[in-house]
Structure 1
Amino acid sequence: MESLKRDHKDDTMVIMHDLLPEDIKQSIASEARQLLDKESERRELIVEQSGGTPRSYNSVGRDIIRKEGVYIPAFFDSKEILNFLSTIIGEKIHKVPYAPEEFIINSQSKRGDTHGWHWDDYTFALIWVVDEPDILSGGRVEFVPRIKWDKEKPEYSFMKH
């Protein structure tokens, strides 16, 4: 636990490979893959709020996951998980207040798929990576810590720091 707290303090990011037992991780991964296969919708758009960055991916929304899923909703509804993450962070973590973003499943599996450069609106995010290529082929989540977003002038946010 102390090393996770230290990772958060030093890097503002914590990577956890052993958060859950392997059988539960596999059940969540299997459920995510099945929902993607059965329920995903293709997204192809440009987001002007983040400098015209592209989004190209398949996605399953929260309502379908809530209706069709078992393991994913149970994980995100778990008070124990929320309390554990709060202990690492050192402050109370709250669920996402905007229900459509409570949890989603995205898949970037086609050549050129991207979620584009963007700012997240929430103080904390939990990103669960189910499948990924090696890091040299794009298999990574990138983030820039300790940068404040000026929503009025997002293109200048990096320059202020």
Structure 2
Amino acid sequence: MASEAFRAAIPALRQSYQQSDFAEIPAFMPDDVFHSTLRELEELFHHQSHRREVHIEQSGGTPRRFNTLARDVIAQGSSVIPAVFASPAMRAALEEIVGEKVLPVPYEPEQYIATRLHETSDVHGWHWDDYTWALVWIFKMPDEGHGGSLEYVKDVPWEPENPRVEEYVATGPVIRRHPAAGSAYLLKAGSALHRVSPLSCAAERMMVCFSFASTTDLEDERSHESIQALF
């Protein structure tokens, strides 16, 4: 399950990932698949989402202000999103980009989740992911001047007992990307301190995040306090 545009872009995506631990995938899915999935998500957010306004201790007390959909809610309400996560062809395409084995994460609640930022000051604050890769499918995106951008610092370790977020952000460099609706991006999120920048007005950012693991990830025990607090 990968669009022809995605397949054709793999050499350029590989180069981008090698340089920056990030690759934006244009036209991630065909238009009809994108729009049908967007309708599913809008329905789920309208009826089954939960509002979260919390600070997460494991990432230095950084804020979360958004609406969420948990993995099981999405699994019951969407036909496409679970299929994307389970697709061997999708993982094979990702492996061509990153140059190593890409595996489904074993912890079900983190396999795929969705968030919606839509109120002024909504933010997904600085954090690291529990597993190596995040594949983020963008369904709605505000204008760049209104926030909602991905910001990240690559190649920094996560130490939950001493996360040093302010130090890493101050040292930088902070890389900023503003992917388009309909695209997806792949981020080496386990070793990149990253956030979604605050909305400066009542705009909308809606996305689905798929998590994938490296072989090394599966050799270690992982804790999941952050995801449990949010979803």
TM over 0.5: same fold? yes
Q: Which consecutive segments of 4 or more residues in structure 1 shift more than 6 A?
A: none
Match of 1:92 in 2: 101
Query: Is 1:25 equivalent to 2:34 in the alignment?
Result: yes
After TM superposition, the structure 1 stretch with the greater mean CA deviation from structure 2, 21-30 or 110-119, is: 21-30
Would you say the 8 A contact 2:40–2:77 is kept in 1? no
Letter in 2 for 1:13: F
**Aligned equivalent of 2:21:** 12
| Residue 74 (structure 1) aligned with residue 83 (structure 2) | yes
Gaps of 5+ in 2: 1-9, 173-231
- Structure 1 distance, partners of 2:54, 2:28, is 34
Does 2:68 align with 1:59?
A: yes
Q: Deviations over 1:9-36 (max 9, x none)?
A: 0111000112221211222222222211
Q: From the two aligned structures, give the one with the greater helix fraction.
A: 1
Task: Determine what percentage of the aligned residue pairs are the same residue.
Answer: 37
Q: Structure 1 CA distance, aligned partners of 2:39 and 2:149?
A: 20
Letter in 1 for 2:162: K
Shift of 1:150: 2.5
Supply the distance in 2 between the matched residues of 1:70 and 1:92 (Cα, whole angstroms): 26
* TM-score when normalising by structure 1: 0.91
1:44 equivalenced with 2:38 (yes/no)? no
Alpha-carbon separation, structure 2, partners of 1:55 and 1:130? 19
Aligned Cα RMSD in Å?
A: 1.9
Corresponding residue SS for 1:116 = strand
Whole-Å Cα distance in 1 between the matches of residues 41 and 100 of structure 2?
Answer: 29
TM-score (norm 2): 0.65
Once the two structures are TM-superposed, the CA of residue 160 in structure 1 deviates from its matched residue by 9.4
Q: Counterparts of 2:117 and 2:171 in 1: how far apart (Å)?
A: 32
Aligned pairs, number: 161
Higher strand share: 2
